[in-house]
Structure 1
Amino acid sequence: MPIARTPDPQFLKMLSGYGLTFAEILYRMPDHPAFLQTFSWQFEDIAPEYPRLRRFLDHWKRDVEASIHSVRVMHQGLIQPREIRLVQEAGYLN
């Protein structure tokens, strides 16, 4: 009897373009404008649009009193098309 295989949801996200994203946000609080503070965040997002990061920054501008000085973004795709290779083992995928 063949084994039912379902793809891993994380793997499907990688195939659809998600990658590891790191954002460093430098900001100033209104009560201490001379101090530059940092917020670092690592998450999965799609480059170059970064929809998750954009939602977070929209939330920040709307609901957080701190003003953003700058945002630095680093992104690495977790899987590349050249890394995908279908392999068929005798007896398993028949």
Structure 2
Amino acid sequence: MSIEPVVLFERRVTTAEILYRMPDYPDLLQSFIWQTHDVIPKFPRLRRFLDHWRLNIEAPIHSVSICAGSLTGVADFSHADVEFRLH
């Protein structure tokens, strides 16, 4: 008798950073941040968004970083000791 692992599907705030290349400037990476509520670990909304991007936008995706947080609970907050500004 084998025991199957239980996969919990939980809805969380999901943030994706998409690095992509513009067709006119292929040597430069640009960043796009997209946030939604999604079901982890499958991320169906994010997958649909990325499929739409690949089919309809002429900017090829370089990479995607995903962060998923809890919908409830205490938020972690920390402050920066130093601020840098580029002019």
> TM (normalized to structure 2)?
0.69
Structure 2 Cα separation of the partners of residues 79 and 26 of structure 1: 29
Look up the match of 1:43.
Answer: 36
Matched, 1:31 2:42: no
Look up the match of 1:75.
Answer: 68
Structure 1 residue matching 2:49: 3-state secondary structure: helix
Look up the match of 1:22.
Answer: 15
Higher helix proportion (structure 1 or 2): 1
Structure 2 residue runs of 5 or longer lacking an equivalent are 1-8, 74-87
Q: CA deviation at 1:18?
A: 1.2
Greater Rg over alpha carbons, structure: 1
Q: CA deviation at 1:17?
A: 2.3
Structure 2 residue matching 1:62: 3-state secondary structure: helix
How many percent of aligned residue pairs carry the same amino acid?
Answer: 54
> TM (normalized to structure 1)?
0.64
